[in-house]
Structure 1
Amino acid sequence: MDPLLLQVLAAKQIPSIGDDAMLLQESMVELINSNPKAGWKAALPSRFSNYTIGQFKYMLGMKKIPKDASLSFPVGSHVANSNLPAQFDARTAWPQCSSIGRILDQGHCGSCWAFGAVECLTDRFCIQLDVTISLSVNDILSCCGSSCGDGCKGGWLINAWQYFVQNGVVTEECDPYFDPVGCRHPGCTEVWQTPQCVQKCKSENQVWSDQKHFGVSAFNIQSDPQSIMAEIYTNGPVEAGFAIYQDFPLYESGVYKHVSGKLIGHHAVKLIGWGTTEEGEDYWLAANSWNSGWGDNGFFKIKRGTNECEFEENVVAGMPSPKNLNSALSGGRE
């Protein structure tokens, strides 16, 4: 089916709805699954069974940086490499790093920008420095303040990586996520507040400053697939931000492409690989932070090579530093 015709059909079948309407629409699922050209399957995920559009929008915490402002940040690039594999999955490339395949749950806080950054840096500590740790989302979410954005109301991706360089980030054991059960409890609402920055480890035997792990760099990645692929292949997972439309939360399997619905906001995820389907469609492989009950066990594929939903223009990363590792690995105990 012609893409333009598909959009016209979608506009006719899916009414425009406001923020107080329910997020999950059976009519949209039927529209996607009845179209053999869609390339992906939709479902009604229990993760969002009682969500309104407005509640879901609150979770989409990627703040976009104006293009002229983004020019002030370093850009990581790679020499063209024709030897990149056709398929790549960081989970199998670095099997000793179990964190790569870990799916987390941001709850109902718009903290995706912090999750994506912390997850990638955690992976890169393992890949680059052979250090197995789990870093704290709560540290950057609560303590970066206006330098990163506005906590649960969203943040800038590159600024999170700058926080790692300038301030470091403690371990998850030291400062666990403030909403440990995710958005599955009665108190989880669209007004969930950013936790306070206390700069004190949960365990009295651990010292905050000794638990800090640092980055040595923070950079944007050139917005072309080859550069993004080379960065992942060489250094590990990267953080990617993209536009979210009404149909994306319905994703269950296949290679996502926007089919129907309005733009809701922008979201950040961990990008771990790429590949091509048997039908010849190129895709990116990413880990989301909506728990393993969403999508394909928490992961999803999205079309590669066409900047689908701006996916290839908002990619950032950084490198881990050995700074303070001796204190951190010794436990930082008094």
Structure 2
Amino acid sequence: MGFSARVCLLTYLFLLGTISPPFRSHQVLAEEAHSKLKLSSQILQDSIVKQINEHPNAGWKASLNPRFSNFTVGEFKHLLGVKPTPHRELRQTPVISHPKSLKLPNNFDARTAWSQCSTIGRILDQGHCGSCWAFGAVESLSDRFCIHFGTNVSLSVNDLLACCGFLCGGGCDGGYPIYAWRYLMHHGVVTEECDPYFDDIGCSHPGCEPAYPTPKCVRKCVDGNQMWRSSKHYSLSTYRVDSDPYNIMAEVYKYGPVEVSFSVYEDFAHYKSGVYRHITGDMMGGHAVKLIGWGTTDDGEDYWLVANQWNRSWGEDGYFKIRRGTNECGIEEDAVAGLPSTKNLVREFAGEAEDGAYVSM
């Protein structure tokens, strides 16, 4: 076979996709090998802890948190289940701002402001499921039911995670916070007692499977004496909060905790205490959490106070602080919330829904 014929044959085979161009194959293989090596490596690194703790201006301390002692980078990335909000939803969802006439305190903690609400101080564990988008929404709504109606009720993350389906995203493979709140508004969620989280102890017990599929939607309370439909609790509204820190503060101060999303880097897995800001490491994904307050350190660093769902062995007893006013890792860009509905609540609360504060939202 002549040279020109061989060239024609190779070109034909390449177009058919049966061979790869020789000048790209080594590059592609190298990139794939590096990617697989990275995903299979341990998320916790002594070098990151050393770099943070020796940084003169880090503002926070790092450690090898036991929550992730056996996690690979790939497993850690799977926890970060926030998918980017579609642009059409950003345009169509109402954005709430608050009049600057409200005088806000320098420090605020929803746990003490509404000390009668036990749900605000709960720290949960999402296990190995990328369900953060569901936790942030359901936890915030649970808190707001207590704040507005005096009902201490823990709502079911599992209902939202299992039953929202393609509307919310991919269940344990991630979802959209704004669609989670839409589900809460249109379909509601049952109580945690009716439908408990499928893996409420994380993955610490012997023989625990390291990756969970999304639980099936059963629509039946585990207790046969409870009715699924009558156990539903609803959000009256779904909205985004304007990204100005004042508006987020006013929203939390007036109505209760909100769900926020932010970009997570490798160093965040090592957070132990202090006011977090990104120092080192690759971007791992998007994470949703519950913002419950704010404050300023003795050194003058403004921060947000946030409840995570990685158990109490991580961070400051399950909480973390992150820089406020600088949109650190995008924390101020996508705060979402809704107000609790009286639907299915006892009649004595029926008049609350007519309150202008609720209707106006």
State the TM-score, normalized to the length of structure 2.
0.85
Deviations 1:294-333 (A, max 9, x none): 0000000000001000000011000000111139x9xxxx
Q: 1:332 matched to which residue of 2?
A: none
Give the equivalent residue in structure 2 for 1:276.
Answer: 296
The 8 Å contact of residues 76 and 221 in structure 1, kept in 2 or not, is answered as yes
Larger RCO (alpha carbons 8 Å, 6+ apart): 1
User: Could you say which residue in structure 1 is the equivalent of 2:212?
Assistant: 192
Amino acid at match of 1:181: I
- Tell me whether 1:96 sits opposite 2:116 in the alignment: yes
In 1, distance between residues paired with 2:250 and 2:203?
35
> Of residues 308, 313, 317 in structure 1, which corresponds to 2:337?
317
Contact 2:81 2:131 in 1 (8 A): yes
Q: Could you say which residue in structure 2 is the equivalent of 1:288?
A: 308
Aligned partners of 1:303 and 1:213: how far apart in 2? 33
Are the equivalent residues in 2 in contact too, given 1:142–1:197 (CA < 8 A)?
yes
Q: CA deviation at 1:273?
A: 0.2
- Return the alpha-carbon distance in structure 1 between the equivalents of residues 154 and 301 of structure 2: 34
Instruction: Structure 1: state its 5+ residue gaps.
Output: 1-14, 330-334
Q: 1:50 aligns with which of 49, 70, 94?
A: 70
Q: What is the one-letter code of the residue matched to 1:229? A: M
Amino acid at match of 2:178: I
CA shift at 1:64, angstroms?
Answer: 1.1
| Aligned residue in 2 for 1:11 | none
2:149 match:
129
State the shift of 1:180 in Å: 2.4
CA contact (8 A) 2:52 2:279 kept: yes
Q: 1 CA distance for matches of 2:95 and 2:243?
A: 10
Give the letter aligned to residue 93 of structure 2. F
Deviation at 1:67, TM superposition (A): 3.6
Residue in 2 that maps onto 1:60: 80
Which segment drifts farther, 176-185 or 153-162?
A: 176-185
Structure 2 counterpart SS, 1:71: helix
1:250 to 253, 259, 270: 270
Please give the alpha-carbon distance, in whole angstroms, between the structure 2 residues aligned to 1:66 and 1:207.
35
SS in structure 1 at match of 2:272: strand
Question: Is residue 306 of structure 1 aligned with residue 320 of structure 2?
Answer: no
Deviation at residue 19 of structure 1 after TM alignment: 1.0
Partner of residue 77 from structure 1, selected from 65, 87, 97: 97
With the length of structure 1 as denominator, give the TM-score of the two structures.
Answer: 0.91
Question: What amino acid does structure 2 have at the position aligned with 1:242?
Answer: F
Structure 2 counterpart SS, 1:19: helix
Deviation readout 1:247-290 (Å, 9 max, x if unpaired): 00100000000000000001000000000000000000000000
Aligned-residue sequence identity (percent) comes to 59
Q: Name segments (4+ residues, structure 1) moved above 6 Å.
A: none
Residue 221 of structure 2 is matched in structure 1 by 201
CA distance in 2, matches of 1:253, 1:180: 25
**Contact 2:124 / 2:200 at 8 angstroms: preserved in 1?**
no
CA contact 2:203–2:210 (8 Å) conserved in 1 = no
For 1:84-233, list aligned pairs within 5 A. 84-233=104-253
- Structure with greater helix percent: 2
Q: Which moved more, 1:71-80 or 1:123-132?
A: 71-80
How far did 1:224 drift?
Answer: 1.0
Task: Report the equivalent of 1:4.
Answer: none
Would the aligned equivalents of 1:40 and 1:256 in 2 still touch at CA under 8 Å?
Answer: yes
Deviation of 1:187 after TM superposition, in Å, equals 5.0
Q: Which has the larger radius of gyration?
A: 2
1:8 is matched with which residue?
Answer: none
1:232 deviation in Å?
0.2
